[in-house]
Chains A and B, each alone.
Chain A
Amino acid sequence: MLKRLTLALTVLLAAPIASADTFVFTAIPDEDETRLQQRFQNVADYLEQQLEVDVRFVPVKSYAAAVTAFRNNQVQLAWFGGLSGVQARARVPDSRALAQGVEDAEFMTYFIAHQSTGLETGEGLSDRMRDMTFTFGSKGSTSGRLMPEYYLREAFGQPPEEVFSRVGFSGNHSRTISLVASGAYDLGAVNYTVWENEVEAGNIDTDQVEVVWKTPNYPDYQWTIRGDVDERFGTGFADRVQQALLNMEDAELLESFPRSGFIPASNDDYAIIESVGKELDLID
């Protein structure tokens, strides 16, 4: 049995798994994850047509997994969040941010509260919040963790664990909304596009949960590409990828992100995210 297994495993390892010149991309699992494969396959088809190379999309389960796959050169292009993009570019020399969504230049986090807290719409970060329960989204999220934690520390002069009686990590934005709507947590921090989409879709009972504060703007999601793609796919390849992304106008494709369009971005646009990440000791 052992022999057979070893043999099979050898075959499995030796088999050419993906052709060497397949261009692979991924996206952090932040928006609607269901049918991700199908929706992003359309994006892959679009890029394949524009770039004239084989393009493949692989789904990942966490921000860290997206960064790791990028760093390990298993994917060459990724749709990152602000923080994960900074983490990724710090680990891959010459990698660069290519494009961001129109909305990403001025992104926001909403602080939401359950009605039983008695907090009012637009109340801001107030001392009445002390000793309530609070949930972030994913630990590696810019809008669900990094920026809200930064503003909380700024407002209260203390880490969140000392301000609130309990600090949880719901795992993602939809779950943050669901947990605050049920009153399981008093307060939560959520990506504003996710909130707006859910409200529009009628999934939120706005009598139960409301927005108590909107953070100032900061830059968020962006496309980042590895520095060695020109070497592998031909001179000027990264520029062609950038052009293809900027030219993406099909509403159905943009819906996957969901953004209204893409605009150019550079590494420097995210300097603020990097310095906040260092301040909160989330990056070295």
Chain B
Amino acid sequence: MWHSATARLSLGFVALAILCLGIADLSITAHAPWHELGRLVQGLVQPDVSAVDHLWVALLRTLAFAFVGVGLGATAGFLLALIFHSRLVRSICAFVRAIHELFWALIFLQFFGLHPLTGVLAIALPYAGVFAKVFAEILEETDPLPEQVLPAGSGRLSTLAFTRLREAWPHLVSYTSYRLECGLRSSAVLGFVGMPTLGFYLESAFAQGHYDTVGALLLLFYALIASLRLWVRPLLVPVYLVVAPFCLGSGLPIVWSNVSRFFSEDIVPSPLRHGEGLSGLVGWLGDIMISEALPGIWHTLVLSQIALVLTGLLALALYPLVSRHFFQGRGWHGRWAVAGRQQAGARVPGNRLTHLLGHGLLVVMRSTPEYLLAFILLQLWGPSMLPAVVALAIHNGGIIAHLVGRRSNEVRLRPDAPHGLVRYAYELTPRLYGPFLALLFYRWEIIMRETAILGILGITTLGFYVDSAIQEIRFDRAMVLILITALLNIGVDVLARHLRARLRLRHTANCEP
């Protein structure tokens, strides 16, 4: 096994994570978490929506922002995919997707204010960058032959429509529908910074410890995500897209002079604004680098390395929950044990239930905001990197397990394939390991972006400093730090692509998280 590059790389990553464990502070210090956690659990099992002023409006807004944002992102992404061979386009796309939706929202809030455009662009912009890349890759993988046999002089548009697009269409649709789920999550989370979506009320209720309301909002959100396939139908999507822009709400009017002020004043480094010239600027930048950027980068890297490996382990352990090779069909022999759940001799009806429970668990894992998870774990374990690592791993592990599980359903096994643990260890996991690694590498960059939310744990990641600069209303500093974050993300993205290429991990639709 040492001869396999994949195995060596995987073990290398694990070793690096273990090394980081030695550096990271993972101590447990909480003393009496049970009172507070008891309140939390009690609230979650006794959900109560009555405290939310306009629940249905919030739900409508969550859907509207997701549809408009993803719709615009997909459209723009598709157009960009057609010219993705241009280095300039590729770089711009890499840049816009390297910045987290929440940071985009915080930037747009500065000049559009609480206007729907802020939320729409915060989703559409980074999504366009992701769509452009994935769509371009999907189109590239289509068979070039039909295009070559067309008569000379065929129009570019009709060539595209009848050759590559026709072949790629199912993949494009499948990927877009997956991104819609992500869009719903993003839309909800934008409520944390003031958009009128579910997250707005979730954050309020959570901040005040009104856990019954938190429970109700979370259940509603889980139901929304879990039922996605029931109400997102090919025929209905155009209807949703047309209606959604009218359901965004009105917000406050945009004052356009704020836009020019933002670019000509707010983000200009303060030494330049105060006429201290180049030497002032150098000192200012050096100060940010030494006191914030470098420690921030270090903590971000250590934290994401551990979280990444834990995410991977969790995803590998949980994907069978949603794989038809384990919890569905007659091949089931009841020898399978996963996540502490011992199933003995369950037959088809029981399997159906297990399958639903598995799906349910993954929906809960991937749809609970990491911030909430981190808070609950902070109550349990006290402030250290531990709650952060576990929160990130639960959230991202849920997403990757879901995608790997889905992918496993495309695998066809021989009728005499082994069952249970043997099937898991010697049949399926080796076959899925390539796509699994590809997914994990895509997620790497995302985990790094998500470390931004952990100020509550007293962990000074890059995102922590970005947030501080924004709270201090110093957008010049915030922009420098956001740029550094984006560069770090692009660096990780390039490295991951390089690793994928070296391991020849083939990309397919649905791979990009």
Interface residues of A (CB under 8 A from B): 1-2, 4-5, 8-9, 11-13, 15, 17-18, 24, 29, 32-38, 58-65, 67-69, 72-75, 87, 91, 114, 116, 133, 135, 138-140, 166-172, 174-175, 178-179, 181-185, 203, 205, 208, 282-284
Interface residues of B (CB under 8 A from A): 25, 29-33, 35-37, 51-54, 68, 71-72, 75, 79, 109-111, 113-117, 120, 192-194, 200, 203-205, 207-210, 213, 238, 241-242, 245-246, 248, 250-255, 258, 270, 375, 378-384, 455-458, 467-468, 470-474
Give which listed residue, B75, B254, B383, contacts A5 with CB less than 8 A: B75
- In the complex, 29 of the A-B residue pairs with CB atoms within 8 angstroms, ordered by the A residue number, are A5-B68, A5-B71, A8-B246, A13-B117, A35-B51, A38-B53, A58-B114, A64-B470, A67-B473, A68-B110, A72-B113, A72-B255, A74-B113, A74-B253, A74-B255, A139-B455, A139-B471, A140-B472, A166-B25, A166-B384, A168-B383, A168-B458, A181-B36, A182-B30, A183-B32, A184-B380, A185-B382, A208-B35, A283-B472
**Complex contacts, A61 vs chain B, CB 8 Å:** 192-194, 200, 203
- Write the chain B residue with the least CB distance to A88: B473
**Complex contacts, B207 vs chain A, CB 8 Å:** 29, 33, 171-172, 174-175
Apart from the given pairs A15-B250, A65-B109, 12 other A-B contacts in the complex at a CB distance below 8 Å: A2-B75, A9-B68, A34-B208, A60-B194, A64-B471, A166-B384, A168-B458, A169-B455, A171-B455, A175-B207, A182-B37, A184-B379
- Write the chain B residue with the least CB distance to A41: B53
Known contacts A61-B200, A72-B113, A183-B382; A1/B245 CB under 8 A = no
Give which listed residue, A4, A13, A75, A133, contacts B383 with CB less than 8 A: A133
Contact B194 A65 (CB under 8 A): yes
Smallest CB separation, B235 vs chain A (Å): 14
Bound-state CA distance A11–B68 (Å) is 14
- Write the chain B residue with the least CB distance to A3: B75
Smallest CB separation, B388 vs chain A (Å): 11
Specify which of A38, A140, A174, A182 lies most central, judged by the most chain B CB atoms within 10 Å of its CB: A182
**Complex contacts, A91 vs chain B, CB 8 Å:** 473
**Complex contacts, B209 vs chain A, CB 8 Å:** 174-175, 178, 203
Known contacts A5-B68, A168-B457; A184/B208 CB under 8 A = no
Bound-state CA distance A185–B381 (Å) is 10
Give which listed residue, A17, A36, A138, A284, contacts B204 with CB less than 8 A: A36
Bound-state CA distance A183–B37 (Å) is 12
Contact A65 B36 (CB under 8 A): no
**Complex contacts, A205 vs chain B, CB 8 Å:** 35
Specify which of A68, A133, A282, A283 lies most central, judged by the most chain B CB atoms within 10 Å of its CB: A68
How many A-B contacts are there with CB distance less than 8 Å? 188
Smallest CB separation, A282 vs chain B (Å): 6
Contact B245 A12 (CB under 8 A): yes
**Complex contacts, A166 vs chain B, CB 8 Å:** 25, 383-384, 458
Bound-state CA distance A284–B473 (Å) is 10
Give which listed residue, A24, A73, A168, A179, contacts B379 with CB less than 8 A: A179
- Write the chain B residue with the least CB distance to A16: B253
Known contacts A61-B193, A65-B193; A72/B75 CB under 8 A = no
Bound-state CA distance A139–B33 (Å) is 25
Contact A73 B255 (CB under 8 A): yes
**Complex contacts, B111 vs chain A, CB 8 Å:** 72
Which are the 9 A-B pairs with shortest beta-carbon distances?
A: A183-B31, A168-B458, A8-B245, A33-B204, A61-B194, A139-B471, A74-B252, A182-B36, A166-B458
- Write the chain A residue with the least CB distance to B72: A5
**Complex contacts, A67 vs chain B, CB 8 Å:** 473
**Complex contacts, B71 vs chain A, CB 8 Å:** 1, 5
Contact A135 B458 (CB under 8 A): yes
Contact A58 B252 (CB under 8 A): yes
Smallest CB separation, B157 vs chain A (Å): 14
Bound-state CA distance A202–B192 (Å) is 28
Give which listed residue, A15, A62, A73, A75, contacts B471 with CB less than 8 A: A62
Bound-state CA distance A17–B383 (Å) is 44
Contact A167 B458 (CB under 8 A): yes
Smallest CB separation, A150 vs chain B (Å): 15
